Amino acid sequence: MVTKLVGILTAGGDSPGLNAAIRAVGKAGIGAFDMQIIGFRDGFRGLMQNRTIRLGSQELAGILTLGGTILGTSRDKPHKMPVGGQLLDMTDVMLDTYHDHHLDALVCLGGGGTQKNAYRLSQKGMNIITLPKTIDNDVAMTDVTFGFDTALGIATEAIDRLHSTAHSHHRIIVVEVMGHNAGWLALGSGVAGGAEVILIPEIPFDIEIVADAIRRRSRKGSRFSIVAISEGAMSQEVAAQLQAAEESRQNAVTDEEIEAAAVQLAEIEKRRAGSTLRAANKLEELTGLESRVTILGHLQRGGTPSAADRLLATRLGSECASLIDQGVFGVMVASRGESAVPIPLEDVVGKRKCVPLDHPWIQSARRVGTCLGDE
């Protein structure tokens, strides 16, 4: 049997479970399928610069429980790589690296952007397989991404801890959770942590409705409230502006119209970026209660991956090695129930898994009286 040579890289933001996935691909590849594994450092930039590390049994030992990624990562895009002060298309250089190592496959671990970049490389002729990673849980065509469960636990614990200080000082505590375009983290941690208000990108909010919900709690004797808000949550006013600007961009014909629409979208995104602080200040004004903002930020990405994320990463990573052995390429290994299944990359790229408005988590939140800012 001819030994297959497999490269692996991690791209985009770091996430709990990356090392568990690297370990699974490597150990299954080496032990079950007699493969040789090399890692490329710092994502697609390492592939471009041919910076590698051998991943044998010794290098893979002891990394299952580690957070982050032993390979390092970056957000560089193959077709828009910063080189010498310019943005250059370096996909051909990466293809040369791929052939120089005589690789039989390249495994790319990452979120939606990584899936898209990996798809570009597959169109160049590389044998590509990807694994879905992101704490935002917004990669399409998979039940869940590894990294999400750990981040969900961290955000929930933060909300649990903030309850005591909110209660003691009769405050509104606004907790910003990651999730620019998808509200899975804020929704899940808000429900699990018992937040009184949950604001997510999928449901634009009316700050008056939120304030009224908090005032009703005060009248009933509850002098504190927890507001869990996605970083990408937006008011109904901003949502309407964003929709109008997006429609203008889609209908733009001339270069001037396209540029004007792009500028307008950028300005609206800037206003959206500050929605958490504006919401906190407005709630203080409308309710008369002191408000405090806690931004969890990158805290949600750090630390030891949860047992669920280690299991998921191991399940997907070991299946990835099996698919390589079978010669199945151009796919993402997705979680479907308890199975790991290959999904064509062309069915994944350009899509985002947002929270459906009829999702059971939303229904449960409404039934227990949680305000989602819209009614």
Q: Can you tell me which residue has the tokens 């039989």?
A: 104
Q: How many CB atoms lie within 10 A of CB 128?
A: 24
Separation of CA 327 from chain center: 29
Q: Is position 42 annotated as part of the catalytic site?
A: no
Q: How many CB atoms lie within 10 A of CB 83?
A: 14
Find the catalytic residue in 14, 42, 104, 136: 136
Give which of 321, 360, 308, 345 is closest to 144, Cα–Cα: 308
Residue type, 195: A
Cβ–Cβ < 8 Å for 145, 137: yes
Burial of 223 (C-beta count, 10 Å sphere; 0-12/13-18/19+): middle
Interstrand relation of 331-336 and 5-10 (parallel, antiparallel or unpaired): unpaired
Q: Lay out the sheet containing 52-54: strands in order across.
A: 52-54, 36-40, 5-10, 105-110, 128-132, 331-336, 339-344
- In order of 82, 139, 188, 230, 352, the CA distances from 184 in angstroms are 32, 11, 6, 9, 12
Measured distance CA(301)–CA(299) in Å, rounded: 5
Q: CA neighbours within 13 Å on the CB side: how many for 332?
A: 29
DSSP conformation class of 62: T
DSSP conformation class of 104: S
From start to end of 74-153, where are the E strands?
Answer: 81-83, 86-88, 105-110, 128-132
Give which of 6, 5, 90 is closest to 45, Cα–Cα: 90
Question: 3-state SS string over 141-165?
Answer: CCCCCECHHHHHHHHHHHHHHHHHH
Active-site residue list: 136
